[in-house]
Chain A
Amino acid sequence: MFILLGVVNLKKDSFKVAGKLLKSRLIVGTGKYKNFSETAKAIKASGADMVTVAVRRVNILDKKKPILTDYLNPKKITYLPNTAGCFNSEDALRTLRLAREMGGWKLVKLEVLGDKKTLYPNMIETIKSTEVLVKEGFKVMVYCTDDPLLAKKLEDCGAAAIMPLASPIGSGLGLQNKVNISLIIKQSKVPVIVDAGIGTASDATIAMELGCDGVLINSAIANAKKPILMAKSFKDAVISGRNSYLAGRMQKKYFATPSSPIKGLI
């Protein structure tokens, strides 16, 4: 009976954000790669069907410079425009409104930063921006601190997904507060995606084993010595962590229990 339930669970284990069905629980960033060719190869190896992108000025001095959309077709992969680099609500809103005008993107990632050194999110501006964007019809995935109360506040404001940080952006420090992330997972009715700070594949597995719905990775792949191989490693790590969560881990005990039967011992 239990085995049967497990199989049913695996089959039904789909991942949806704001009604959009995603095949992979791994979302990847497109920044920091050596060139666009490497970006495209790493994303392919990761199996991700959603990627984050930033909005910036066009380089008007170099007309022949290659552009991201030449390498990653927005019709084949879901672009998730972000507000990276915005330190107040006004800039974040401006950026996402421009992104929407670019190609009708309503599913966006909001991040409003509060401190240049830690890139820690400014939650006051983040909540304010979420409210405005939801009113304007955006589906907002929100980068946030790992405070369960603020995560709940974001959900109440209409966030499409809660994206707490594992540790500071680009730090590679991994999950620093598993308890808080777990609390957020348990209370949230919208997807919880661990964003920022994941350093290596095992960190992603740990996040998935806690029961989060997905992870967002950029630096850990782009800054690896072999980014394409690391992308593949993350793909496997996320699948493995999810399966491990669905399978349900054994209980921890302080003393040993033999794996081989005692009966029939010679």
Chain B
Amino acid sequence: MAKIQLNGKKISIKSNFSLQDLLKKYKLINKKVAIEHNGQIIPKINYKKKYLKNDDRVEIVHFIGGG
């Protein structure tokens, strides 16, 4: 178990949980989002090998309507 902050909210995840697992958990499609991990933008090819640990801060963003 690990506690991380996702989009400003505290959540619990299993240990050995990757960014790709996180996307799967929230039914998000890899191609339609971008991820920042502890302030660093993570290239899509690294989602599978980037594992999460306690107190990590993750931001998942996508496009919404805007002017």
Contact = CB atoms under 8 A, between A and B. Distances in A.
Interface residues of B, number: 27
Interface string B44-67: 100000000000000111111111
Contact of B32 (A52, A69, A98): A69
Nearest to B7: A57
A29 B41 contact: no
A173 interface: no
B28 interface: yes
Contacts of A170: 67
A152 interface: no
Interface residues of A, number: 37
B65 A68 contact: yes
- What are the 5 tightest A-B residue pairs by CB atom distance, in nearest-first order? A54-B66, A29-B67, A218-B67, A30-B65, A102-B34
B65 A32 contact: yes
Given A60-B6, A60-B26, A53 B60 contact: no
Contacts of A55: 34, 61-64
A81 to B, nearest CB: 7
B6 A56 contact: no
B41 A82 contact: no
Given A60-B6, A67-B63, 5 more contacts: A33-B65, A56-B62, A63-B26, A169-B67, A218-B66
A142 interface: no
Chief secondary structure at chain B's binding surface: strand
A56 B64 contact: yes
B7 A52 contact: no
Nearest to B42: A101
A41 interface: no
8 contacts: A29-B66, A32-B65, A52-B66, A52-B67, A55-B63, A57-B8, A98-B41, A99-B34
Given A58-B28, A69-B32, A84 B7 contact: no
A39 interface: yes
B62 A82 contact: no
B59 A57 contact: yes
A170 B64 CA distance: 18
Contacts of B43: 101
Given A60-B9, A60-B26, A63-B27, A101 B44 contact: yes
B63 A58 contact: no
Interface in A20-79: 29-33, 36, 39, 52-58, 60-61, 63, 67-69, 74, 79
A33 to B, nearest CB: 6
Interface string B15-27: 0000000000011
A169 B66 CA distance: 12
Contact of B61 (A29, A33, A56, A69): A56
Contact of B60 (A36, A54, A57): A57
Contact of B63 (A60, A63, A81, A219): A81
